[in-house]
Amino acid sequence: MTAKKLGILFSGGKDSTFAAWKAKKEGYEISCLISILSKNPDSYMFHTPDIIQTRKQAIAMNLPIIEQKTEGKKEDELKDLEKSLIEAKKKYKIKGIVTGAVESAYQSIRIRKLCYELELECFNPLWLENQRSLLEKLVKHKFKVIIVGVAAYPLGKEWLGREINKETIEELKQLQEKFGINPSGEGGEFETLVLNCPLFKKPLKIKNKKISGKGNAWRMEVELE
Protein backbone atom coordinates (compact mmCIF):
# COMPACT_ATOMS: atom_id res chain seq x y z
CA MET A 1 0.00 0.00 0.00
CA THR A 2 1.34 3.46 -0.90
CA ALA A 3 1.87 5.77 2.06
CA LYS A 4 -0.51 8.68 2.29
CA LYS A 5 1.14 11.90 1.15
CA LEU A 6 0.99 14.67 3.72
CA GLY A 7 2.02 18.30 3.94
CA ILE A 8 3.35 19.64 7.23
CA LEU A 9 2.12 23.02 8.42
CA PHE A 10 5.59 23.96 9.49
CA SER A 11 6.83 26.79 11.68
CA GLY A 12 10.31 25.46 12.39
CA GLY A 13 9.49 25.20 16.10
CA LYS A 14 9.38 22.12 18.29
CA ASP A 15 5.69 21.22 17.93
CA SER A 16 5.35 21.19 14.14
CA THR A 17 8.69 19.41 13.78
CA PHE A 18 7.80 16.77 16.35
CA ALA A 19 4.39 16.27 14.73
CA ALA A 20 6.12 15.79 11.36
CA TRP A 21 8.42 13.20 12.86
CA LYS A 22 5.46 11.35 14.36
CA ALA A 23 3.73 11.24 10.98
CA LYS A 24 6.87 9.85 9.34
CA LYS A 25 7.27 7.30 12.13
CA GLU A 26 3.71 6.11 11.56
CA GLY A 27 4.56 5.39 7.93
CA TYR A 28 3.17 8.47 6.18
CA GLU A 29 5.06 10.19 3.38
CA ILE A 30 5.95 13.80 4.04
CA SER A 31 5.62 15.41 0.62
CA CYS A 32 6.25 19.04 1.51
CA LEU A 33 6.48 21.62 4.24
CA ILE A 34 4.11 24.57 4.25
CA SER A 35 5.29 27.72 6.01
CA ILE A 36 3.26 30.85 6.52
CA LEU A 37 5.50 33.89 6.68
CA SER A 38 3.48 36.38 8.69
CA LYS A 39 4.48 40.04 8.80
CA ASN A 40 2.60 40.32 12.06
CA PRO A 41 4.88 39.40 14.99
CA ASP A 42 1.76 38.92 17.13
CA SER A 43 0.01 36.62 14.66
CA TYR A 44 -3.08 34.85 16.07
CA MET A 45 -2.43 31.78 13.98
CA PHE A 46 1.20 31.37 13.17
CA HIS A 47 4.50 31.17 14.99
CA THR A 48 6.65 34.06 13.74
CA PRO A 49 10.20 34.26 15.17
CA ASP A 50 12.75 32.98 12.68
CA ILE A 51 10.07 31.61 10.35
CA ILE A 52 12.30 32.47 7.37
CA GLN A 53 14.75 29.84 8.63
CA THR A 54 12.26 27.10 7.72
CA ARG A 55 13.91 27.20 4.28
CA LYS A 56 17.18 25.98 5.82
CA GLN A 57 15.33 23.36 7.85
CA ALA A 58 13.60 22.13 4.68
CA ILE A 59 17.01 21.68 3.04
CA ALA A 60 18.22 19.80 6.11
CA MET A 61 15.21 17.49 5.73
CA ASN A 62 15.59 17.27 1.97
CA LEU A 63 11.98 18.35 1.53
CA PRO A 64 10.34 20.94 -0.73
CA ILE A 65 8.76 23.91 1.00
CA ILE A 66 5.86 26.16 0.09
CA GLU A 67 6.35 29.62 1.55
CA GLN A 68 3.24 31.75 1.73
CA LYS A 69 3.46 35.38 2.76
CA THR A 70 0.68 36.99 4.77
CA GLU A 71 0.10 40.41 6.25
CA GLY A 72 -1.00 38.59 9.39
CA LYS A 73 -4.36 40.30 9.80
CA LYS A 74 -6.69 38.18 11.89
CA GLU A 75 -8.95 36.25 9.49
CA ASP A 76 -7.00 37.17 6.32
CA GLU A 77 -4.25 34.83 7.45
CA LEU A 78 -6.62 31.98 6.69
CA LYS A 79 -7.06 33.04 3.08
CA ASP A 80 -3.31 32.92 2.66
CA LEU A 81 -3.16 29.55 4.36
CA GLU A 82 -5.85 28.33 1.97
CA LYS A 83 -3.77 29.42 -1.03
CA SER A 84 -0.80 27.45 0.24
CA LEU A 85 -2.89 24.33 0.88
CA ILE A 86 -4.37 24.49 -2.60
CA GLU A 87 -0.86 24.77 -4.02
CA ALA A 88 0.37 21.82 -1.95
CA LYS A 89 -2.60 19.74 -3.04
CA LYS A 90 -2.01 20.54 -6.69
CA LYS A 91 1.79 20.37 -6.76
CA TYR A 92 2.52 17.57 -4.31
CA LYS A 93 -0.80 15.67 -4.40
CA ILE A 94 -1.11 15.77 -0.62
CA LYS A 95 -4.14 14.07 0.93
CA GLY A 96 -3.84 15.75 4.27
CA ILE A 97 -1.87 18.05 6.50
CA VAL A 98 -0.20 17.66 9.87
CA THR A 99 -0.17 20.41 12.47
CA GLY A 100 1.62 20.77 15.80
CA ALA A 101 -1.51 22.00 17.59
CA VAL A 102 -1.55 20.91 21.23
CA GLU A 103 -4.28 22.87 22.98
CA SER A 104 -5.21 25.89 20.92
CA ALA A 105 -8.88 25.51 19.97
CA TYR A 106 -8.73 28.84 18.11
CA GLN A 107 -6.02 27.58 15.77
CA SER A 108 -7.34 24.07 15.48
CA ILE A 109 -10.93 25.03 14.63
CA ARG A 110 -9.89 27.32 11.79
CA ILE A 111 -7.46 24.88 10.25
CA ARG A 112 -9.91 21.97 10.49
CA LYS A 113 -12.65 23.97 8.76
CA LEU A 114 -10.33 24.90 5.97
CA CYS A 115 -9.10 21.34 5.50
CA TYR A 116 -12.66 20.03 5.43
CA GLU A 117 -13.59 22.50 2.71
CA LEU A 118 -10.54 21.43 0.69
CA GLU A 119 -11.19 17.72 1.37
CA LEU A 120 -7.89 17.33 3.14
CA GLU A 121 -7.38 15.22 6.23
CA CYS A 122 -6.19 17.25 9.19
CA PHE A 123 -3.90 15.40 11.58
CA ASN A 124 -2.97 16.81 14.98
CA PRO A 125 -0.82 14.08 16.54
CA LEU A 126 0.13 16.18 19.58
CA TRP A 127 -3.46 17.16 20.40
CA LEU A 128 -4.06 17.32 24.18
CA GLU A 129 -0.65 15.81 24.86
CA ASN A 130 0.72 16.47 28.33
CA GLN A 131 2.94 19.53 27.93
CA ARG A 132 5.74 18.39 30.15
CA SER A 133 5.83 14.92 28.70
CA LEU A 134 6.04 16.49 25.24
CA LEU A 135 9.23 18.30 26.23
CA GLU A 136 10.66 15.12 27.72
CA LYS A 137 9.94 13.25 24.49
CA LEU A 138 11.84 15.87 22.52
CA VAL A 139 14.91 15.28 24.64
CA LYS A 140 14.47 11.50 24.54
CA HIS A 141 14.27 11.46 20.74
CA LYS A 142 17.28 13.76 20.35
CA PHE A 143 15.58 16.93 19.12
CA LYS A 144 17.93 19.87 19.54
CA VAL A 145 15.58 22.74 20.26
CA ILE A 146 16.45 26.27 21.39
CA ILE A 147 14.31 29.11 22.70
CA VAL A 148 14.19 32.05 20.28
CA GLY A 149 11.42 34.17 21.77
CA VAL A 150 9.89 34.86 25.19
CA ALA A 151 6.75 36.79 26.03
CA ALA A 152 5.77 36.20 29.63
CA TYR A 153 6.89 37.10 33.14
CA PRO A 154 9.33 36.03 34.56
CA LEU A 155 11.00 34.90 31.31
CA GLY A 156 13.63 37.34 30.10
CA LYS A 157 16.49 37.87 27.69
CA GLU A 158 18.60 35.26 29.48
CA TRP A 159 16.30 32.52 28.15
CA LEU A 160 17.12 33.24 24.51
CA GLY A 161 19.31 30.56 22.95
CA ARG A 162 18.75 28.10 25.80
CA GLU A 163 18.43 24.50 24.74
CA ILE A 164 15.46 22.41 25.84
CA ASN A 165 17.14 19.79 28.01
CA LYS A 166 16.48 18.15 31.36
CA GLU A 167 17.59 21.22 33.32
CA THR A 168 15.44 23.58 31.24
CA ILE A 169 12.42 21.30 31.64
CA GLU A 170 12.92 21.22 35.40
CA GLU A 171 13.13 25.00 35.51
CA LEU A 172 10.03 25.39 33.35
CA LYS A 173 8.23 22.96 35.66
CA GLN A 174 9.03 25.21 38.62
CA LEU A 175 7.86 28.28 36.69
CA GLN A 176 4.63 26.47 35.88
CA GLU A 177 4.00 25.78 39.54
CA LYS A 178 4.93 29.30 40.65
CA PHE A 179 3.69 31.52 37.81
CA GLY A 180 1.42 29.31 35.71
CA ILE A 181 3.78 29.36 32.74
CA ASN A 182 2.77 26.68 30.27
CA PRO A 183 5.85 24.42 30.20
CA SER A 184 5.42 23.84 26.50
CA GLY A 185 4.98 27.51 25.63
CA GLU A 186 1.60 26.73 24.06
CA GLY A 187 0.17 29.99 25.34
CA GLY A 188 2.87 31.92 23.47
CA GLU A 189 5.07 32.20 26.59
CA PHE A 190 8.07 31.20 24.51
CA GLU A 191 8.89 30.22 20.93
CA THR A 192 11.39 27.63 19.79
CA LEU A 193 13.55 26.69 16.82
CA VAL A 194 14.71 23.20 15.92
CA LEU A 195 18.40 22.89 15.04
CA ASN A 196 18.50 19.13 14.72
CA CYS A 197 16.18 16.12 14.93
CA PRO A 198 15.83 12.61 13.49
CA LEU A 199 14.29 14.10 10.31
CA PHE A 200 17.38 16.20 9.54
CA LYS A 201 20.14 14.83 7.30
CA LYS A 202 22.59 17.19 9.02
CA PRO A 203 22.38 19.50 12.03
CA LEU A 204 22.00 23.26 11.58
CA LYS A 205 24.21 25.83 13.26
CA ILE A 206 23.61 29.44 14.18
CA LYS A 207 25.72 31.67 11.94
CA ASN A 208 24.47 35.06 13.12
CA LYS A 209 21.97 36.26 15.69
CA LYS A 210 20.27 39.51 16.54
CA ILE A 211 18.52 40.04 19.87
CA SER A 212 15.82 42.64 20.43
CA GLY A 213 13.10 43.37 22.97
CA LYS A 214 12.51 44.65 26.47
CA GLY A 215 11.14 43.52 29.84
CA ASN A 216 9.70 40.04 29.43
CA ALA A 217 9.30 40.17 25.64
CA TRP A 218 12.44 39.27 23.74
CA ARG A 219 13.22 37.64 20.44
CA MET A 220 16.33 36.29 18.84
CA GLU A 221 16.48 36.39 15.05
CA VAL A 222 19.02 33.91 13.77
CA GLU A 223 20.66 33.04 10.50
CA LEU A 224 21.26 29.33 10.15
CA GLU A 225 23.87 27.43 8.19
How far is 130 from 165, CA to CA, in rounded Å? 17
For residue 129, give every residue at least 6 positions away whose Cβ sits within 8 Å of its Cβ, in sequence order, or none. Answer: 102
* Among positions 1, 75, 90, 105, the unique one binding other proteins when judged by CB under 8 A: 105
For residue 59, give every residue at least 6 positions away whose Cβ sits within 8 Å of its Cβ, in sequence order, or none. Answer: none
Of 77-85, 107-115, 191-199, 200-208, which segment contacts other proteins by CB under 8 A? 107-115
115 near other proteins, judged by CB under 8 A: yes
Within residues 124-153, the interface with other proteins by CB under 8 A covers 124-130
> CB-wise, 71 or 117, nearer to other proteins?
117
How far is 84 from 115, CA to CA, in rounded Å? 12
Smallest separation, CB 87 to other proteins (Å):
20
145 CB neighbour count, 10 Å cutoff: 24
> CB-wise, 97 or 164, nearer to other proteins?
97
Within residues 4-43, the interface with other proteins by CB under 8 A covers 4, 22-23, 26-28
- List phi, psi (to 5°) of 210: -135, 125
How far is 151 from 144, CA to CA, in rounded Å? 21
User: Going by DSSP bridges, is the β-strand pair 206-214/217-224 parallel, antiparallel, or unpaired?
Assistant: antiparallel
Within residues 69-98, the interface with other proteins by CB under 8 A covers 96, 98
> CB-wise, 123 or 190, nearer to other proteins?
123
> CB-wise, 22 or 132, nearer to other proteins?
22
> CB-wise, 30 or 51, nearer to other proteins?
30
* Among positions 42, 75, 119, 158, the unique one binding other proteins when judged by CB under 8 A: 119
> CB-wise, 28 or 143, nearer to other proteins?
28
Q: Which strand ranges, in their side-by-side order, compose the sheet holding 144-151?
A: 190-196, 144-151, 217-224, 206-214
Smallest separation, CB 129 to other proteins (Å):
8
Smallest separation, CB 172 to other proteins (Å):
21
Question: For residue 151, what is the enclosing H or E element?
Answer: strand 144-151
Question: Alpha-carbon torsion 152, 128, 193, 162, what sign?
Answer: positive
Q: Which residues bind to other proteins, rule: CB under 8 A?
A: 4, 22-23, 26-28, 96, 98, 105, 109, 112-113, 115-116, 119, 121-130
